[in-house]
Amino acid sequence: MRVAIFIIIGVLMATVSVSSAATMTVGKEGHATIQEALNASRDGDTIQIDRGVYAENLFVGKSVSFVGAGKGTIIQPFMWTQPTLFIMASNVSIEGIRVVNGSIAIKSIWAENLSIKNTSIEGNSYGIWLTGSDNSIVKGNIFKENRMHVFLEDAKLTTIHQNQLKGGTTGLSMILSRFNSVTDNLIENCEAGLELRNSGDNLIQGNEFTNCRIGIFSTISSSNSISRNRVNTTQLFLDLSTASQNVISENEFDGAGVFAKNFDSLENDFILPRVNLAGLNFEFSLIKPSLPENYVALSDAINVTITPDILTEAGSIYMESSLTEDEVKELASTVDPSTIAFYRLDSGAPVRVSESFVNAHFTSNQSGLYVLAGLKGVLMPGMPLSIWLVVVIIALVMVVVVAVLLIMRQRLGKV
């Protein structure tokens, strides 16, 4: 009986708590300032902000939702030296406002489940600064001309998705941050699109880096997955310094610069179309190969520069083919499979540097231009040139034998 009573009381308390959530209006028919509405609010309330310009520095110590009227709802700092919105409560959401011209637009410290959506953050030194704030969502926002758009410090499980980060010095920076997801963002006209410092186990996927000097800079950061990103007119896609065990795969690079620098970094795996690449103290770019007519390129040409460490003099590359047997069978209609291998493109003819596709891999400490390729020469799908040569020779021999037999028969007939 007592248990049932406690359950009923709990349900009633929860019902009262939900029903007590209120909407506070700021503007013509409500509170004069956002801070006034915030002071009058309780956890779970929504603060609806009308169009207008609000010069305020807000300290948010309650779990409330700020909902603006879009770009017409503008918040700028009353005191530039203080964050415009300073959040120290969990379960705060911000949507449909513009935060402009401050030192830090939105700063959150040790607050979980922060949600910032469909908001414009413009002309600040820092756009969003999250310290120790986990499980946050930053989605569908527009960042313009902030010096640094998003900064994560000791933050985990943050989702940064479908934002536009334009101009400024740095798009996104992480320090001591793990298990975050940065996906499908547009990052353009920045000095550095993304910085990783002492940050690991993050997913960087599906982003577009356009007209940045460096796409991604990573130092002392490991086990990050960097995949399916698109890179346009960017001088350097990846700068890895003492950053190990990262997987870089399926990225699209327009070739306007260096794909990656990999220094003092071990066990980074670069997964390129039909080729896997690893090594130590090197950089490389991808270019379209120019091969003699009798060769078929099966990968981009990989232009590698190895710069050994001054102290250890260590530096090398390792390449291997990722072709499967089924892919080789498909290629057999145009390429002799027995000739599929890595070739070094020097001034003369291509020089083969690996065995056939079954063991197509090699290690080298020499800079150079390398490509996975094969020789033309298949006359029937699935039939290598070498086999066809044998068939042709046998056929010719048979023709000669038949001709000789016919001649001998004719001569014997005359006798």
pLDDT in tens, 173-218: 999 999 999 999 999 999 999 999 999 999 999 999 999 999 999 9
Residue 320 domain flag: no
Asked whether residue 339 is assigned to any structural domain, the reply reads: no
Q: Does residue 147 come out as left (phi exceeding 0), alpha (psi in the -120 to 50 range) or beta?
A: alpha
Helix (H) or strand (E) holding 106: strand 104-109
Evaluate whether residue 56 is within a structural domain.
yes
- Asked, for residue 358, whether it belongs to a domain, the answer is no
Does residue 38 lie in a domain region?
yes
Distance of CA 25 to the CA centre of its chain: 41
Amino acid letter, residue 41: S
Task: Give yes or no for residue 398 having a pLDDT over 90.
Answer: no
Inside any domain, residue 354: no
Residue 356 lies in a domain: no
Q: What is the pTM assigned to this prediction?
A: 0.84
The answer to whether residue 390 is domain-embedded is no
Q: How far apart are CA 205 and CA 193, in angstroms?
A: 13
The tokens describing 13, both together, are: 């308390």
Which residue segment(s) compose the domain that 140 sits in? 22-305
Work out the percent of the chain whose per-residue pLDDT is above 90.
75
- Predicted local distance difference test score (pLDDT) of residue 262: 97
Per-residue pLDDT tens over the stretch 129-154:
999 999 999 999 999 999 999 999 99
What confidence category does residue 382 fall into, taking pLDDT thresholds of 50, 70 and 90?
very low
Task: Quote the pLDDT of residue 410.
Answer: 67
> Could you give the number of structural domains in the chain?
1
